[in-house]
């Protein structure tokens, strides 16, 4: 008996799932979960929804959304009601519920910072500013933000996150339901660009740290000399990032899950002033290098993209996808245009994950909010194709064609073919066909090149055509075979061949969506 249980025990140890991790493939990152590339089709609950009584509705709605991952907060004020005394009932309910509903979890640590303020710090911290100092603004007045220059603050947060990670290790190292931990939430300070406490002023008066200056390839000097007009913001970013780094590293020492930091962006925010229009010290676009230098324990700097226009949305994606940073979008809008923007994130910027914020609604028995219907359609269509999408992303062979106002046909270029995707009815016009756009601007497609003559076409409300590249010897194209089908466990299943009216004018993606495998030949 003893031998048998020892054997079983060693077998289960042997079978332990690997830790999730971000791995670099050339210029691109993949997120491995259970050792396989994983695309986070996420959904974030409202801030006050990670409570057992709220979760039933959320799980149901996450399933209706066809999400594979739920993002939910862990509240410092709840798990550490008195210094050093921890309780994890809310965390346990999250992990249990996610498992029961076949979902993965990303936990969001609402610790020292939440949206650039300290609101989730426990009451015993809020009430003792002598021991847990707040930042002082330029006039020397305390603000509602804990100081990143206080070791006491940092150690308190560090010990709490470490306790959480220790607990997760105990309850989840076999299942790996939790795949990523976000450390803090939109860290940085509102109300002041930096701390003006005596200690902070002393540090600001001295030289910028040599390690930082060196990593940035800059010449040594004071903060002002090294960073000019951005000096105070860079100072804040360095100290916030260093603080977060220590918290994250302590958590990883307990249980080394990948860790992220999310960002309240500056883009499209009024005058784009730190401490006013966005929290100062966060990993905004002009502070990414500082954060990368000061917070190596953080795997992903992740933009919360609420930018409403597609040009801005794409610019943010481009800024956060770097050779040293995977693109992962932990919060974004839920409405129709964001369902389109998801296609840019996946197709043009190799996103490893994407999640609308506040998907759950509390009303008893409520179904998924209608505003999310297009995101749900995306997840339903693209979820089963995720492995193929990830493979195409890694090969640099995936592109997006997305409809926007007055942008009703999109030219994409591949190795041997060019492709034009039309949205809405077309009519002849000077210079070619003009597409009038779809009724509700729902056109969106991903086009991936499998081999030189074979493409994947996935999406909604579009007509996709191809032509041999300019200058090719064979100037004409015809479809060799167009399959409509679906993926099941990574295997392609052909449901029917499209031909005749369904391909005469190009391949059609209907409003309800389709995944097509298109084989071309030129002649």
What is the contact surface with ligand DGJ in residues (CB under 6 A)? Answer: 47, 115, 185-186, 304, 331, 357
Return the closest-CA partner of residue 336 out of 441, 423, 408: 441
Tell me how far, at minimum, the Cβ of 267 lies from ligand DGJ, in Å.
14
Question: Nearer to ligand DGJ by C-beta: 71 or 157?
Answer: 71
Coil/strand/helix, residue 142: strand
Tell me how far, at minimum, the Cβ of 5 lies from ligand DGJ, in Å.
46
Angle between helices 336-349 and 310-320 (to 10 degrees): 40
Question: Nearer to ligand DGJ by C-beta: 46 or 416?
Answer: 46
Report the chain's C-alpha Rg in angstroms: 25
Supply 508's token pair.
């059609």
Tell me, rounded to whole angstroms, the distance of Cα 125 from its chain centroid. 31
Tell me how far, at minimum, the Cβ of 185 lies from ligand DGJ, in Å.
5
Which residue of this chain has its Cβ atom nearest to ligand DGJ in the complex? 186
CA distance 125 to 113: 13
Question: Nearer to ligand DGJ by C-beta: 304 or 348?
Answer: 304
Q: Going by C-beta distance under 8 Å and a sequence separation of 6 or more, which residues neighbour residue 89?
A: 52
Tell me how far, at minimum, the Cβ of 110 lies from ligand DGJ, in Å.
8
CA distance 465 to 17: 43
Coil/strand/helix, residue 241: helix
Tell me how far, at minimum, the Cβ of 494 lies from ligand DGJ, in Å.
43
Contact yes or no for 509/464 (Cβ under 8 A): yes
Question: Nearer to ligand DGJ by C-beta: 263 or 295?
Answer: 263
Phi, psi at 18, each rounded to 5°: -65, 155
Question: Nearer to ligand DGJ by C-beta: 181 or 507?
Answer: 181
Return the closest-CA partner of residue 434 out of 448, 445, 420, 447: 420
CA distance 514 to 523: 28
Residue 470, sorted as left (phi over 0), alpha (psi -120 to 50) or beta, turns out to be beta
Question: Nearer to ligand DGJ by C-beta: 37 or 356?
Answer: 356
Tell me how far, at minimum, the Cβ of 121 lies from ligand DGJ, in Å.
15
Angle between helices 89-100 and 52-64 (to 10 degrees): 30
Tell me how far, at minimum, the Cβ of 334 lies from ligand DGJ, in Å.
10
Instruction: Find the farthest-apart pair of alpha carbons in the chain and give their distance in angstroms, rounded.
Output: 84
Tell me how far, at minimum, the Cβ of 298 lies from ligand DGJ, in Å.
16
Question: Nearer to ligand DGJ by C-beta: 65 or 402?
Answer: 65
Burial of 268 (0-12, 13-18, 19+ CB in 10 A): middle
Tell me how far, at minimum, the Cβ of 139 lies from ligand DGJ, in Å.
27
Question: Nearer to ligand DGJ by C-beta: 115 or 426?
Answer: 115
Other residues' Cβ atoms within 10 Å of the Cβ of residue 479:
17
CA distance 206 to 366: 57
Tell me how far, at minimum, the Cβ of 340 lies from ligand DGJ, in Å.
20
Question: Nearer to ligand DGJ by C-beta: 329 or 401?
Answer: 329
CA distance 332 to 403: 19
Question: Nearer to ligand DGJ by C-beta: 186 or 403?
Answer: 186
């Amino acid at each position: 008996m003893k031998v048998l249980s020892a054997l079983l025990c060693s077998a289960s140890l042997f079978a332990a799932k690997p830790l999730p991790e971000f791995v670099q493939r050339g210029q691109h990152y993949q997120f491995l979960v259970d050792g396989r590339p994983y695309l986070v089709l996420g959904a974030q609950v409202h801030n006050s929804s990670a409570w057992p009584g709220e979760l039933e509705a959320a799980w149901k709605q996450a399933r209706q959304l066809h999400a594979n991952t739920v993002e939910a907060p862990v509240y410092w004020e709840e798990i550490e009601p008195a210094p050093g005394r921890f309780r994890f009932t809310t965390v346990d309910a999250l992990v249990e519920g996610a498992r029961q509903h076949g979902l993965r979890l990303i936990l969001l640590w609402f610790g020292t910072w939440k949206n650039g303020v300290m609101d989730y710090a426990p009451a015993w911290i809020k009430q003792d500013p002598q021991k847990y100092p707040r930042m002082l603004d330029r006039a020397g007045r305390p603000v509602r933000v804990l100081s990143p220059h206080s070791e006491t603050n940092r150690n308190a947060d560090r010990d709490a996150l470490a306790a959480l990670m220790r607990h997760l290790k105990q309850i989840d190292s076999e299942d790996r339901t939790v795949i990523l931990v976000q450390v803090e939430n939109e860290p940085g300070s509102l109300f002041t660009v930096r701390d003006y406490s005596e200690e902070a002023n002393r540090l600001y008066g001295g030289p910028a740290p040599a390690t930082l200056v060196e990593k940035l390839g800059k010449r040594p000097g004071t903060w002002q000399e090294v960073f000019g007009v951005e000096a105070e913001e860079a100072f804040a970013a360095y100290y916030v990032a260093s603080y977060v780094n220590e918290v994250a590293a302590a958590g990883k020492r307990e249980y080394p899950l990948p860790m992220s930091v999310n960002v309240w962006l500056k883009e499209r925010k009024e005058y784009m002033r730190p401490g006013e229009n966005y929290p100062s010290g966060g990993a905004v676009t002009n502070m990414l290098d500082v954060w990368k230098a000061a917070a190596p324990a953080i795997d992903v700097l992740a933009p919360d993209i609420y930018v409403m226009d597609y040009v801005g949305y794409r610019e943010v994606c481009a800024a956060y996808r770097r050779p040293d940073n995977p693109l992962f979008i932990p919060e974004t809008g839920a409405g129709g245009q964001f369902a389109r923007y998801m296609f840019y994130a996946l197709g043009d910027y190799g996103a490893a994950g994407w999640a609308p914020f506040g998907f759950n609604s509390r009303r008893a028995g409520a179904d998924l909010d209608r505003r999310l219907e297009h995101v749900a359609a995306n997840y339903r269509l693209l979820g089963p194709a995720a492995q193929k999408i990830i493979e195409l992303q890694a090969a640099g062979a995936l592109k997006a064609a997305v409809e926007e106002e007055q942008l009703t046909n999109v030219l994409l270029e591949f190795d041997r073919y060019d492709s034009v995707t039309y949205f809405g009815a077309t009519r002849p016009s000077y210079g070619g066909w003009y597409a009038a756009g779809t009724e509700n601007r729902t056109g969106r497609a991903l086009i991936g090149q499998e081999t030189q003559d074979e493409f994947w076409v996935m999406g909604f409300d579009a007509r996709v055509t191809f032509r041999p590249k300019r200058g090719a010897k064979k100037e004409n194209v015809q479809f060799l075979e167009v399959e409509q089908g679906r993926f099941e466990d990574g295997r392609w299943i052909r449901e029917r061949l499209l031909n005749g009216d369904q391909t005469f004018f190009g391949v059609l993606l209907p409003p309800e969506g389709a995944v097509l495998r298109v084989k071309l030949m030129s002649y």
